[in-house]
Amino acid sequence: MLVAALVVVGLVLALDACGAGGAKEDAKARHLPEGSYPIALHPGEYRSNSFEPSLSFTVGKGWNNDRLETSDKLAISRGGEEPSILIFRNVQEVYNYDKTGTSPEVVKAPKDMVGWFQHHPFLDTDKPEPATVGGAKGVQFDYVVSEDFPSEEITLFRYTDDSTADQGKDYKHRAIILESVKGKTVTIGIDSPTAEFDDFLPKAQKVLDTVKWTGS
């Protein structure tokens, strides 16, 4: 009887240990902190709170939470006054420009985001190449704001919190477009001052290599 009781106790302790281990695994991924942006991030794994589709990713030293996370944007950054940014977008609205580059019209985001970028009258884009993030396949290409644009900064998207995506001529960008992530199109932006782009790109890619799409 004593032996049987000890076996039962051992099994219970083992199960508790497994449960605690699972809880620790769940606790490893934290939500991005909120407050006065930018907010320094401790190295480790983070998971989205509002962004759709939900995801997790891991950062090392030097990353910040760049702005308030919403259902259509999640951004982290490096640097100070002119930061380099890695941003995940579920674009809902875009700004369409006529040939004059003035008085843009805000419209519903098109299904073909790749075509929208490639045919934008004031973006100079490279040819799309295959890309994969978190197992989701898509394309990527670099682009800059055209010198023909009449202002130093162009507005491309409007988010659900009424903030906008404004991109300047002194920045270089990489767009990664994944057209079917949990039924949604995800547009990832790697945006950096032109002179720092080549240095920032592998740091952003290192984070992208850890991305896991979660939820349903």
Q: The CATH number of the domain where 136 resides is what?
A: 3.40.1000
CB 44 within 8 A of CB 63: no
Centroid of chain to Cα 187: 8
Q: Quote the number of domains for the chain.
A: 2
What pLDDT was estimated at residue 70?
97
pLDDT tens by residue, 29-83:
899 999 999 999 999 999 999 999 999 999 999 999 999 999 999 999 999 889 9
User: Which residues lie closer than 8 Å to 90 by C-beta, 6 or more apart?
Assistant: 51, 52, 53, 71, 72, 73, 184, 185, 186, 187
* Mean pLDDT of all residues in 89-101: 96
On whether both 102 and 176 belong to a single domain, the answer is yes
On whether both 62 and 122 belong to a single domain, the answer is yes
pLDDT tens by residue, 6-44:
333 343 444 344 444 444 444 578 999 999 999 999 999
What pLDDT was estimated at residue 25?
42
On whether both 48 and 82 belong to a single domain, the answer is yes
On whether both 39 and 26 belong to a single domain, the answer is no
On whether both 3 and 94 belong to a single domain, the answer is no
On whether both 19 and 63 belong to a single domain, the answer is no
CA distance 41 to 43: 6
pLDDT tens by residue, 143-190:
999 999 999 999 999 999 999 999 999 999 999 999 989 999 999 999
* Mean pLDDT of all residues in 136-143: 98
On whether both 2 and 94 belong to a single domain, the answer is no
On whether both 161 and 60 belong to a single domain, the answer is yes
What pLDDT was estimated at residue 29?
85
What pLDDT was estimated at residue 27?
52
Model's pTM, two decimal places? Answer: 0.86
On whether both 68 and 140 belong to a single domain, the answer is yes
Centroid of chain to Cα 88: 2
On whether both 83 and 3 belong to a single domain, the answer is no
On whether both 26 and 85 belong to a single domain, the answer is no
On whether both 168 and 108 belong to a single domain, the answer is yes
CB 92 within 8 A of CB 150: no
Q: Is the pLDDT of residue 133 over 50?
A: yes
Nearest to 158 by CA among 69, 85, 76, 92: 92
Domain ranges, residue 7: 1-31
